[in-house]
Chain A
Amino acid sequence: MEGKIIVVTSGKGGVGKTTATACIGAAMAMQGKQVVVIDMDIGLRNLDVVMGLENRIVFNIVDVVKGRCKIKQAAIKDRRIDNLFLIPASQSDNKDSLTPEDIIRLSKSLRGRFDYIFMDCPAGIERGFENAVAAADEALVVCTPEVSSIRDADRIIGLLYAKSITPKLIVNRIVPEMVARGDMLSHEDVVEVLSIDLIGLVKMDDKVVVATNTGLPLVLQKDSEAGNAFHRIAQRLNGQPNLPIENSDNGKGFWRSLGRKLRRRN
């Protein structure tokens, strides 16, 4: 087995990185892949509560790196979704407890054990970011249709390019009505400004808040639009790159963006 390491990042905090990591990881596991999601936000752990696994933590990522436990002991198995594991962050250490070299060393054994390794990157561009991207094969940049988020995404994209990683974009929390009214940037606008490939579009969905409140996986709810969007992202990552991106404004936007994509290819 030679697993793939995918880092989920954004620059700005609060745009939905952790939710995206939890959902895409879970959706990928539901496709039958061995998946581990790792919380790289040392000192500010959150992926565990979002996934509803907070009361099962024994060891954490720093314990694994420092050799205090085996990967198998730190990886918490999700009992609702087969093949899904979480390695939580440490709450008592800080970002300097790990180095990029530590993560590169750890990545070898992770790749041997899992098909997909998702790293939930902390906000910012400092050590935590460096650690999370150190061993990454691919990167997903999450942004919301707001100027501050997009500007930070642009900065992160530049840093990823410098590491020879070509990231893909997830536009999160789109409100189609506001886009139609001309009061919110559309995903086309965001793609135009950032000029990178889009891999997913996630509409604003109240069910995300409910899922986080309860710790129940969003991707298990069949009627959640955001949940379905994350399923599609997982499918696109997992060997179906041409699966259409569910669009945010009733088909029109999608055909337009497809048209633009084709034009760019030629």
Chain B
Amino acid sequence: MFKDLFGNFFGRQGSREVAKKRLKFALVYDKLEVSDDLLNDLQRDVVEVISKYFEVDTSAMKLDIKRSDDLSALVLNTPILSAKRR
């Protein structure tokens, strides 16, 4: 603790803190990665739910993860053929 303060006082950041920051970032980033299998499963489930309400062209449906520096978004694009009347 004393040494930490001392180190910072002289403007030296221990590699320990660097390691901790890099690790935390890496772990968050790792968890945003989605496997193809998971994406395929999700698409199958989504199709099932949407099909209850809409007639959709499943072959043209696209499910993707868009990633930028500060956020990840799940993007679903699907042509609607018709709404189901109930």
Contact = CB atoms under 8 A, between A and B. Distances in A.
Asked if A and B bind, the verdict is yes
B14 A150 contact: no
Contacts of B7: 182
A185 B20 contact: yes
A182 B15 CA distance: 6
A155 B33 CA distance: 12
B16 A189 contact: yes
A182 B14 contact: yes
Secondary structure of the B contact surface, majority rule: helix
A179 B14 CA distance: 9
B24 A193 contact: yes
Contact of A151 (B13, B14, B23): B23
A109 B30 CA distance: 39
Contacts of B23: 147, 150-151, 185, 193
Q: How large is the interface on A (under 10, 10 to 19, 20 to 34, 35 or more residues)?
A: 10 to 19
B27 A181 contact: no
B16 A182 contact: yes
Nearest to B22: A147
A184 B20 CA distance: 10
A181 B3 contact: yes
Given A182-B4, A189-B16, 10 more contacts: A151-B27, A154-B27, A155-B30, A181-B14, A183-B14, A185-B16, A185-B20, A186-B16, A189-B19, A193-B27
26 contacts: A146-B19, A147-B23, A150-B23, A151-B23, A151-B27, A154-B27, A154-B30, A179-B16, A180-B3, A181-B3, A181-B14, A182-B7, A182-B14, A182-B17, A183-B14, A183-B15, A184-B15, A185-B19, A185-B20, A186-B16, A189-B16, A189-B19, A189-B20, A193-B20, A193-B23, A193-B24
Closest CB pairs A-B (n = 10)? A182-B14, A182-B16, A183-B15, A147-B23, A189-B20, A154-B27, A147-B19, A182-B7, A193-B23, A185-B19
Interface of A: 146-147, 150-151, 154-155, 179-186, 189, 193
